[in-house]
């Protein structure tokens, strides 16, 4: 068969198959053109569900007379002129196919008057020949597009139109989506001459809530949470609802990327995943969310109807949305804070930044979270230390509350948070790290020998002559004992190492500060926290101590702050709970009578708090833990501490052979 170029009218009708699915598709294209023209008022008239008449009038810039005929030509547009424009599209339309495609399947009249003309002109285009006729007309500044008898010349397409009620319902839903995308525009919708919907332009927060209620219903407003986060040029803002606002269908899910309506699979998956622990399988989340991103980082030209986009850093966008929504839901106390490996986010970025500048955050607008987090008082913080008197993971024998109270009253707080003066060895420097000085070793040994409970306490083990025997090194791992202890041996003999205590030493060793301090790893999404006056004062007073540990706080006002970064040992922790507890603990030292707070005390508290011991270790896990502890502590390893290592006395066993 001979290859030929398609006639213009046939090419336009083929394009109309993609652009014009139903009357709502025509309304979408025309209203988006009005928004691109800078209109602040749009009037939409519909008859017979759009099959008889669609008229869209705006007060935008208008089209000059000489360009009216060109506007109805295929691939004619004022929105892009070069490849560079195509790679950074901010307008809603850009292909220049809409008017030509619509005019090929209807009787179209385009009337416009720019501010530079005293006379308005109308361009008529009808059906197959698509001949454009220009006539003078009466029209205010702006543009009107009138579409009559949609699909009049394509009976097969017209046959597939639904009832008038159904087609108008699609138009009504479309206008709702547009109304939520542009709060600054007044939109009036009429059907068969009757005003059905009127969305007035919004100037205040109260008016914005009224528009949201008009679109999503009052129940949405009652349970909605406001979201507003920004990080490295990626901004997410809008509203989500608590699980109380969930619905049995996905009819209240509105998402926009750079002002463009989206039904993107990646975005939907991130939102659905953030709700997975709080909704039943038959429930759907409700939300109105806006994503603002550098237009160079998103491709909008991947779907015929522009419903989907392609992000250049898809994983980054997905995890940003997921964590932002999960954090907001957690702060509203409706779900548990997810355990997110935020360190993996940085691998999703082609060139991850090492630091997070304060300019990347919107400092003018505080992060808005609807509910106050739990305010943990210092007494509750100390209860955790009391429950774990020696090291995390150690089983505590039953004891009376009076014993604990007596110990706490008689023991100064600084004795509960002893500091270690052994510098931390960075992982990349471990093999070449200098040996700690004798003074540092002595300071650590003195710390380890300081009893945390009175000797009379039944929980304090009584040392024996075998415990006092010197252990020069741990040696080689032999086997496991009772799941929490590993038997090790060297030339001098055998001994047992406590793995829960070793895990605690590992965390504490990772939190030891060198001369440069611990390196802070920026969070992908800075964590917003509500704080009280005492916590705010603690942030101001101990900012240097927090910075030494690699914890970066950004105080926004007296009631809120942002957690910008944490050291590597804390990346896997539940920061939503850990950071308020840390601030409450630090706030207890703002009183001069309580003593001074330094990074050593903070690192000890963090190690006590975040260490989580297992009930059953494998031999390979034991070998890894002991190896890391030996590498971190080197000469300062507490081989004298009976809570860490004890020699094995085989005397009784050997004597039994001689019986």
**CB-CB contact of 443 with 421 (8 Å):** yes
Distance between CA atoms of residues 332 and 372, nearest Å: 7
pLDDT tens digits for range 11-51: 766 666 667 889 999 999 999 999 999 999 999 999 999 99
pLDDT tens digits for range 499-518: 999 888 888 888 888 777 88
Mean pLDDT is highest, among 123-127, 134-138, 305-309, 620-624, for 134-138
Backbone angles phi, psi at 12, to 5 degrees: -70, -35
**CB-CB contact of 336 with 274 (8 Å):** no
pLDDT on residue 338: 45
Which of 1-10, 206-215, 588-597, 650-659 comes out lowest in average pLDDT?
588-597
The predicted model gives 157-168 an average pLDDT of 90
pLDDT tens digits for range 181-204: 999 999 999 999 999 999 999 999
Q: Which H/E stretch holds residue 608?
A: helix 599-610
The predicted model gives 561-578 an average pLDDT of 86
The share of the chain scoring above pLDDT 70, in percent, equals 75
369 pLDDT above the threshold of 90: no
pLDDT on residue 15: 64
208 SS3 class: helix
Q: Tokens for 493?
A: 């003999």
Q: Which of the 8 DSSP states describes residue 570? A: G
Q: Which H/E stretch holds residue 15?
A: helix 8-19
**Contacts of residue 551, Cβ cutoff 8 Å, sequence gap at least 6:** 520, 563, 565, 566, 567, 570, 582
CA 46 to centroid of chain Cα atoms: 41
pLDDT on residue 595: 60
Q: Which one, of 270, 258, 352, 275, lies nearest residue 318 by Cα?
A: 270
Q: Which one, of 328, 425, 462, lies nearest residue 629 by Cα?
A: 425
Mean pLDDT is highest, among 12-21, 267-276, 298-307, 607-616, for 267-276
pLDDT on residue 462: 38
pLDDT tens digits for range 544-555: 888 888 899 988
CA 184 to centroid of chain Cα atoms: 27
pLDDT on residue 63: 93
Name the band, by pLDDT with cuts 50, 70 and 90, for residue 211: very high
pLDDT on residue 221: 92
pLDDT on residue 469: 53
For residue 494, list its beta bridge partners: 489
Q: How far is CA 285 from CA 241, 328, 404, in A?
A: 7, 14, 47
Name the band, by pLDDT with cuts 50, 70 and 90, for residue 591: low
pTM of the full predicted structure?
Answer: 0.55
Higher pLDDT, 93 or 56: 56
235 pLDDT above the threshold of 50: yes
Strands 186-191 and 41-47, how do they pair? parallel
Q: Which H/E stretch holds residue 146?
A: strand 142-148
Residue 584: count of CB within 10 angstroms of its CB? 21
Q: What is the mean pLDDT of the chain?
A: 76
């Amino acid at each position: 068969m001979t290859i030929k170029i398609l006639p213009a009218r046939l090419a336009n009708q083929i394009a109309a198959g993609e652009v014009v699915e139903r009357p709502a598709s025509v309304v979408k294209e025309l209203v988006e053109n009005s928004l691109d023209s800078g209109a602040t008022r749009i009037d939409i008239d519909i008859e017979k569900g759009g099959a008889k008449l669609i008229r869209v009038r705006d007060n935008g810039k208008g089209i000059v007379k000489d360009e009216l005929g060109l506007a109805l030509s295929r691939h004619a547009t004022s929105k892009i002129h070069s490849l560079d424009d195509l790679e950074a599209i901010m307008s809603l339309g850009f292909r220049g196919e809409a008017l030509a495609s619509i005019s090929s399947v209807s009787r179209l009249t385009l009337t416009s008057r720019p501010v530079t003309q005293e006379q308005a002109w109308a361009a008529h285009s009808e059906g197959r020949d698509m001949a454009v006729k220009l006539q003078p007309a009466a029209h205010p500044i702006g543009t009107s597009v009138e579409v009559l008898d949609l699909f009049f010349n394509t009976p097969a397409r017209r046959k597939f139109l639904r009832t008038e009620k159904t087609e108008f319902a699609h138009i009504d839903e479309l206008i709702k989506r547009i109304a939520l995308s542009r709060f600054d525009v007044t939109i009036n919708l009429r059907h068969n001459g009757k005003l059905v919907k009127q969305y007035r332009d919004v100037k205040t927060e109260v008016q914005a809530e009224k528009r949201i209620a008009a679109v999503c219903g009052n129940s949405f407003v009652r349970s909605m949470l406001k979201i507003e986060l920004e990080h490295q040029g990626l901004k997410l803002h809008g509203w989500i609802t608590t699980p109380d606002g969930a619905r049995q269908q996905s009819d209240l899910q509105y998402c926009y990327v750079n002002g463009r309506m989206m039904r993107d699979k990646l975005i939907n998956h991130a939102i659905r995943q953030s709700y997975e622990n709080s909704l039943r399988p038959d429930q759907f989340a409700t939300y109105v969310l806006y994503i603002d991103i550098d237009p160079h980082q998103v491709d909008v030209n991947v779907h015929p109807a522009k419903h989907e986009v392609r992000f250049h850093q898809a994983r980054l966008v997905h995890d940003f949305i997921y964590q932002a929504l999960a954090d907001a839901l957690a702060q509203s106390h409706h779900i548990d804070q997810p355990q997110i490996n935020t360190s993996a986010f940085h691998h999703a970025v082609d060139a991850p930044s090492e630091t997070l500048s304060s300019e990347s955050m919107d400092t003018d607008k505080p992060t808005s979270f609807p509910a106050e987090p739990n305010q943990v008082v210092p007494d509750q913080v100390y209860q955790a230390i009391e429950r774990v008197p020696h090291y995390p993971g150690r089983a505590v024998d039953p004891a009376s509350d009076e014993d604990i109270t007596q110990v706490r009253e008689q023991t100064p707080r600084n004795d509960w948070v002893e500091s270690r003066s052994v510098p931390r060895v960075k992982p990349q420097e471990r093999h070449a790290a200098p040996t700690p000085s004798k003074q540092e070793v002595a300071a650590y040994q003195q710390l380890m020998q300081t009893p945390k409970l009175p000797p009379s306490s039944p929980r304090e083990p009584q040392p024996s002559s075998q415990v006092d025997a010197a252990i020069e090194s741990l040696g080689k791992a032999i086997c496991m004992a009772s799941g929490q202890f590993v038997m090790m041996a060297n030339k001098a003999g055998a001994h047992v190492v406590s793995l829960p205590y070793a895990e605690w030493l590992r965390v504490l060793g990772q939190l030891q500060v060198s001369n440069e301090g611990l390196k802070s790893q920026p969070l992908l999404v800075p964590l917003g926290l509500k704080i009280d006056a005492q916590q705010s004062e603690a942030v101001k007073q101990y900012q240097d101590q927090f910075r030494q540990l690699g914890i970066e706080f950004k105080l926004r006002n007296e009631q809120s702050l942002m957690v910008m970064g944490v050291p590597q040992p804390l990346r896997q922790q539940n920061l939503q709970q850990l950071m308020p507890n840390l601030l409450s603990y630090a706030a207890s030292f703002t009183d001069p009578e309580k003593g001074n707070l330094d990074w050593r005390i903070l690192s000890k508290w963090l190690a006590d708090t975040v260490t989580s011991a297992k009930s059953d270790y494998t031999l390979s896990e034991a070998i890894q833990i002991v190896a890391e502890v030996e590498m971190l502590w080197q000469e300062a390893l507490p081989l004298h501490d009976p809570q860490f290592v004890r020699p094995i006395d085989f005397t009784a066993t050997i004597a039994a052979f001689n019986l």
